[in-house]
Amino acid sequence: MSVNIADLPFREIPYLPQKLNVTQRENGSILLENGQPLRPWHPHMLAPIVYWAASDPERLWLAQRDPVDSNKPGWQEITYGEGLRRIRALAQGLLSQGAGPDKPVMILSRNSIEHALIMYAAMWAGSPVVPVTPAYALLSQDFARLNYADKLTEPGFIYVDDGQEYQRGIDGMNMKGRLVIYARNAPDYENAISLEGLEETPTNAVDLAYDRLSPDAVAKYMLTSGSTGEPKAVINTHGNISSMVKMIRSVWNVERLDELSGGQQVMVNFLPWSHTYGANAILHSMTDWGGVLYIDWGAPTPARLPEMIRNLKEVSPTQHTTVPAAWTAIATEIENDAALAKTFFERLLVMAYGGAAMGQDIYERIQKVAVETTGQRISLSAGYGATETSPTTSNVHWPSSVMGLIGLPLPGCTFKMAPVGEKYECRVKGPHITQGYFRNPEKTRDAFDEEGFYKLGDAVRFVDPEDPNKGLAFDGRIAEEFKLANGTWVSAGAVRVGAVSEVDGVLSDAVVCGLNQNKIGILGFLNPNFCKRLSGDISLEDMATHPEIRSAVENGLRFYNQKNPNASSRIAACILQPDMPSADAGEITEKGYLNQGKVQTLRADDVARLFADKYDDDVIVL
């Protein structure tokens, strides 16, 4: 007799009871607040490191592969006690070099133990950090965005993890004699010092610097992606980030969660610290919790996926949160590798995603393997926010089997659902919200409404208007919605998620096209590991023309259209792409989601073919 997965229990999830307060206002807006109290939060980001180093100095904090030869077995580790010792020594070195609020530290580095040490040391010394995506220095030809960020934030120090690797970037900047700090391989630059060489014996200046830290002090200038213009520098104070991580924990019975986890939270994660998700919601949240973070140098790309899977096969996490692109890859790998599934699910209590919407099909596939491996379902929920919200401002803090939710506001913040046309825009207030954009008063004014709520720009709706406790769902990006030629609005996000879900594993993602056209077309990106089941081990280019794969896509999209027959959502044509989206070209971000506009610009010929008067043979016509 077959078992209905939906009838099986969830592995214990110690969420606190939901307490939602809803206020309907005369102007049509709706206020939402979480009735659970916000747990007390640290006054600044260094306090949890000091706390854990004092209470449990041998507690493991961070681990990474050998930075020179990641193929070496084992992990390099650092404890909270050793981490604090080195942070203080580095803070003294920075203070001796004149660190302070007017001398930020720009960080050009992948995630690493050394990256974490210099970041926290800079903040200890009073210098805000400016984490910059390494691509600005490693892949750019003209270094325009690197120099834009440099000119905007005026860092007093530049940190690179490898001086030789970042030599071009250093040469491409107007250094003006500023100090370059490097972890290994000295650059060809006269004013450079190694990380170890920067360390000095701490004096009382380090203690005084610690005493000067406050919730209002600037911790970071986090750069936005700049997909629609030059990057903006979001001001993150210590209070913004410290309150946000406690908001996340305020929906848990944390004592019970720690008990179920064996006393310490464990995570393996690749999300880059140059973005708010990886830097704040992952690294600092785990640090505040006293958890251990295994730094993953893999990613859900063909070249880096084997490393990601290798790490997940070695370390059993208690929590795993990542972007949908990574969950898509994990779903295929655990279906094909029982040993990986056993290690992955062995201690796992919580799964979560953020950064983009995820299809129901991915959830179903992951949950099926979880049940086969453990006999139980494991909650896979969503978090939601932005760089300006530090980032997490809501999540699904109840057992749920429905994807596409953004949850409900976390304790300590207020959501306003503001009527905009026929939809509600999500706006938010709370101690985690940025004060604005560094040196950009115009954009700062535009970001907030007349009541001081930050405008996220996303449309949201109640999953069940009769029961707000069932949560909010993403209802399209207000700025990214587009009109067809007849004036019909298209919610690209909803079409993308629905289409990929109905194709059931063959597509990894899609780009929705049709601005000022008479119909909707999509560019479909294949999931090569899944497609091998239909085609065998052939090239991605051959997969795009393989009859069984094309048939699977066509059948799935026809099924989608049966459910979505209106012009605002019905798909008329699809072209399968013979390659994967290019991160180097800006088609896919470090967080793993598609830049819809960039893909359409770079693949303009294919977009035109979707709307040609006469379709060619490559086009799947629906």
- Residue 579, pLDDT score: 95
Secondary-structure percent of the chain, ordered helix, strand, coil, rounded to 5: 35, 25, 40
Last residue of one domain, picked from the residues 454, 477, 500: 477
Asked if residue 243 and residue 207 are part of one domain, the reply reads no
10-residue stretch averages of pLDDT, the chain, 622 residues long: 77 94 97 97 98 98 96 96 98 98 98 98 98 93 93 98 98 96 98 98 98 98 72 96 98 95 96 96 98 97 93 98 93 97 97 85 94 95 95 94 92 96 91 98 96 94 95 79 82 87 91 93 94 94 96 96 93 96 74 76 95 94 94
Asked if residue 580 and residue 533 are part of one domain, the reply reads yes
Last residue of one domain, picked from the residues 477, 510, 537: 477
- Residue 590, pLDDT score: 53
Phi, psi of 544 (to 5 degrees): -65, -20
Asked if residue 564 and residue 430 are part of one domain, the reply reads no
Query: Residue 614 is encoded by which pair of tokens?
Result: 């006469």
Q: Are 242 and 123 in contact (CB under 8 A)?
A: no
Asked if residue 450 and residue 340 are part of one domain, the reply reads yes
CATH number of domain containing 378: 3.40.50.12780
Question: What are the helix (H) ranges across 354-440?
Answer: 360-374
**In the 8-state DSSP scheme, what is residue 41?**
-
List CB contacts of 605: < 8 A, sequence separation 6 or more. none
Asked if residue 462 and residue 497 are part of one domain, the reply reads no
Tell me, letter by letter, the H, E, C secondary structure of 183-215. Answer: EECCCCCCCEEEHHHHCCCCCHHHHHHHHHCCC
Tell me whether residue 56 is in a domain: no
Tell me whether residue 209 is in a domain: yes
Asked if residue 310 and residue 244 are part of one domain, the reply reads yes
Residue 465: count of CB within 10 angstroms of its CB: 8
Question: What are the helix (H) ranges across 323-425?
Answer: 324-336, 338-345, 360-374
Domain count, the chain: 3
Asked if residue 189 and residue 245 are part of one domain, the reply reads no
- Residue 552, pLDDT score: 96
Asked if residue 471 and residue 502 are part of one domain, the reply reads no
Asked if residue 281 and residue 209 are part of one domain, the reply reads no
Asked if residue 182 and residue 135 are part of one domain, the reply reads yes
Tell me whether residue 53 is in a domain: no
Domain range spanning residue 558? 482-621
Tell me whether residue 164 is in a domain: yes
Asked if residue 350 and residue 245 are part of one domain, the reply reads yes
Between strands 482-483 and 472-477, the pairing is unpaired
Last residue of one domain, picked from the residues 477, 504, 525: 477
- Residue 242, pLDDT score: 98
Tell me whether residue 337 is in a domain: yes
Distance of alpha carbon 282 from alpha carbon 529, whole angstroms: 28
CATH number of domain containing 542: 3.30.300.30
Tell me whether residue 268 is in a domain: yes
Please give the distance of CA 318 from its chain centroid, rounded to a whole number: 19
Asked if residue 136 and residue 119 are part of one domain, the reply reads yes
CATH number of domain containing 179: 3.40.50.980
Tell me whether residue 62 is in a domain: no
Q: Which of 192, 174, 175 is nearest to 183 (CA)?
A: 192
Tell me whether residue 550 is in a domain: yes
Q: Is the pTM of this model over 0.95?
A: no
